[in-house]
A and B are shown apart, each in its own frame.
Chain A
């Protein structure tokens, strides 16, 4: 069964959404785009705040990897620099290792095409990476996963 990638969101460490791209739209959105971005980030932020309280006392604080929301799954990772990558996807038969690799690939493309780009201002309001080399590259990567 091929993967279905719904959307990709990338947030800055303060919760500002720098990139929001929809690849598959299943239903018309019930909330506005900006509102949804905030809801997703807020959900992840609240979960990450709760998790250390629930993990065993003898281990390191847990790292959130995915959230099952049938029929799809939210995969997430946070870079050491504070960028949070969120991917909504539906895929049967894929392991978590596959998605860890894929999120790492997205981060590599982000670093190469955006962070290392001298023209991009990381503190600019809105981010502004919708129509750039990164957008074209990430679309190619996502389409290759959907096959």
Chain B
């Protein structure tokens, strides 16, 4: 099992955190990550309108033949996107959310909806996903 990357977007859809979690993660420019994060945010909003029934969460998982994208939409509007191999069955999104609460939200210098700069959260995410740089 392997995780490829983690993205986090703010309430408005702006990318506030991204990190590679594998040496096979494609090397993208910062602008590419920003574009991906905002596009996903928009797609989740569109999916709530485009489905034939009501869905509160929108997209929670995208399944492809070789990768999966698991999405956690929190009540505060923050969204976590974890890209992983197709054989990953239980992505640790809740653990990552808990780490977010501990190492980002409880940081007195962190401003809500701003990009995350602290290394401690990144190291915690890498520990949860079993990645060693």
Contact = CB atoms under 8 A, between A and B. Distances in A.
Interface of A: 6-7, 22, 24-27, 29-31, 36, 39-40, 42-43, 46-47, 50-51, 53-60, 62-72, 74, 88, 96
The A interface is mostly helix, strand or loop, or mixed, namely mixed
Contacts of B128: none
Contact of B43 (A7, A22, A47): A47
B26 A54 contact: yes
B64 A58 contact: no
B66 interface: yes
B40 to A, nearest CB: 7
A72 B4 contact: no
Interface residues of B, number: 37
Contacts of A43: 43, 46-47, 50
Contacts, number: 112
Interface of B: 4-5, 22, 24-28, 32, 36, 39-40, 42-43, 46-47, 49-67, 69, 83
B61 A40 contact: no
Contacts of B36: 50, 53-54
B46 A67 contact: no
A62 B4 contact: no
Contact of B25 (A24, A56, A66, A71): A56
Contact of A51 (B24, B46, B59, B67): B67
A55 B61 CA distance: 15
Given A46-B39, A54-B26, A57-B26, A72 B66 contact: no
26 contacts: A26-B52, A27-B52, A27-B53, A27-B54, A43-B46, A46-B43, A47-B62, A50-B39, A51-B67, A53-B36, A54-B36, A55-B64, A56-B26, A56-B66, A63-B65, A65-B63, A66-B62, A67-B63, A68-B62, A69-B55, A70-B55, A70-B56, A70-B57, A72-B53, A74-B51, A88-B51
A94 B65 CA distance: 17
Contacts of A72: 51-53, 55
Nearest to B61: A68
Given A43-B47, A46-B43, A62-B67, A70 B52 contact: no
Contacts of B42: 46
